[in-house]
Amino acid sequence: MVMKSNSETMESSSRLGVETRGIEHVPESQRHGTIARFASVWVGAQLSFNVIILGWLPASFGLTFWESATCITAGLLVGLIFYGPFALLGFRGGTNSSTASGAVFGVVGRLIGSIFSVVVALAFFALVVWSGGAALVSVLARLFGTTSSDLALVVCFALMGSITILLAVYGFAWVVRVQVWISILVGAAIAVGFFALAGTFQDAAQGQLVVAGNPTGTWMLGALIAFSVPISYGPFVGDYSRYLSETRYTGRQVVAANTIGMFVGCWAVMLFGAFIGAASSIELGPVDGLVSASPNWFLAPILMIALVGTLAQGALALYGTGLDIASIFPGVRRWKATLVVGLVGVGLVYFGQFVWSVIDLVNDFVMILSFVISPWMLICLIGVARQGWRFDVEDLQVFNDRRRGGRYWYRNGWEPRAVVAWLGGVTFGMLFSPAASFPGPLAGVFGGVDVSVVGSLLTGGAIYLLLLKLTPLPRASAHAFEVASERR
């Protein structure tokens, strides 16, 4: 089953219309993406206030700028070990990440990845709209000498959410094209921001270390937040790598572009967040702290980050989850699913502002996100590697086409070994979770040092390898194979 080519969206007059492609396989003849644009997507996606906030968190934990910088760098590098090669699922499978995960978890078991996509998209879309809207209100209040009223926040949240939803509804081609310009404009604004705040920069810790006064535990908590950023994109990277041609690019090129793009974007923006923490009052928070510490001439670049940067990550998150929901519910078009998810996300923004504590929720969310998604990603990588990094592209679409059987049907569409291993990893994470809203019974066993993520990752991978050794997969499912050209 082949729907209208997305290449038509990019290369013909239809590129100005709403994308009609879902998660069906993208044939080789219709893969017109480029490595440069693919990398720019991951650079541009980070240039927003929500990633700035994630970089600011280590400073709020009581770390100095240089301590924050080292934990951010270390966390990103470890996360990229798993995130980088994850692009091969979309590249080789010609579909999005969650559908490609069906080769390991079963064509029905890939719903685990789809659930991740929805949850992560809602959370990060809500955060990026909230942070961008809050920055917009804060800057306008300083420019015109007004107060940051609730009404102003309501209006700005609605504005930011509406523009982002519209971009995501139009689809892949628009998201990719916009990301290129965002990378240039917002990237320049953030680079200038280091100079703008240089006069108030002080490399001194503010407040007490959050992990029982333990510098090592606090540093590891900061590294965990950085680790979670590339991991959170695992369910979405296939949305874009599926449009890269296997005849024009090698797997190594795709992995390199994916890794470099994500590192450059995350590292620069999170360091800017840590810089804000060292150059402003932590008590004011990341947004108001930046606005209050900035000279007047830098207020315009802050507005650009708030307005333009919001589009980058918000649209990327919504686009990916719209694909997944449309594949789960027959008859639901991608753009309609994207619209619904976006409206729900805007609702979460208002709850986050007026009901919950946003910063506390973000801190807990990234912890839980990491020990839930990281074992899933590792299991997928192990499973696909055992299959020679190749896919039977027709059998991947069995569930989406409402069929049964095929190479990845396993047991009623689920692969028990992968599911059990993932549940084992998640269970470990839950037991040792340090999240304030979801503390595990064993959270304090290691003196406040968080082992939930590393433990869940290693536990999930170890259980999967053990189960494969004890009960090997049938040869038809485990051996490497080439996809016949006529099936592309």
Is 456 contained in some domain?
Answer: no
Is 474 contained in some domain?
Answer: no
Burial of residue 470, with CB atoms counted within 10 A of its CB: 0-12 exposed, 13-18 middle, 19 or more buried: exposed
Query: pTM score, two decimals?
Result: 0.83
The four Cα atoms 131, 136, 137, 138 give a dihedral, to 10 degrees, of 80
Is 445 contained in some domain?
Answer: no
pLDDT > 70 fraction of the chain, expressed in percent and rounded: 80
Residue 244 β-bridge partners: 33
Of 255, 289, 259, which is closest to residue 272 (Cα–Cα)?
289
Is 335 contained in some domain?
Answer: yes
Structure tokens belonging to residue 142: 């300083």
Tell me the per-residue pLDDT of 202-238, one tens digit each, with 9 for 90 and over: 887 777 777 657 788 889 889 988 998 899 888 889 8
Is 348 contained in some domain?
Answer: yes
Is 380 contained in some domain?
Answer: no
89: domain CATH number is: 1.10.4160.10
Residue 237 to residue 65: CA distance in whole angstroms: 30
Tell me the per-residue pLDDT of 410-419, one tens digit each, with 9 for 90 and over: 999 999 999 9
Q: By the 8 A CB rule, do 137 and 307 touch?
A: no
Tell me the per-residue pLDDT of 113-128, one tens digit each, with 9 for 90 and over: 888 878 877 777 777 7
The mean pLDDT of 94-105, rounded to a whole number, is: 92
Q: One-letter amino acid identity for 176?
A: V
The four Cα atoms 384, 385, 390, 396 give a dihedral, to 10 degrees, of -10
The mean pLDDT of 295-309, rounded to a whole number, is: 85
When pLDDT is cut at 50, 70 and 90, the band that residue 7 belongs to is very low
Q: By the 8 A CB rule, do 202 and 279 touch?
A: yes
Mean pLDDT of the chain: 81
Domain count, the chain: 1
Of 331, 327, 333, 348, which is closest to residue 235 (Cα–Cα)?
327
Structure tokens belonging to residue 202: 């002080």
Is 304 contained in some domain?
Answer: yes
Residue 46 to residue 425: CA distance in whole angstroms: 28
Is 236 contained in some domain?
Answer: yes
Is pLDDT at 1 greater than 60 in this prediction? no
Tell me the per-residue pLDDT of 334-363, one tens digit each, with 9 for 90 and over: 667 777 777 877 777 777 666 665 556 666
Q: One-letter amino acid identity for 364?
A: D
Q: Which residues constitute the domain of residue 166? A: 21-358
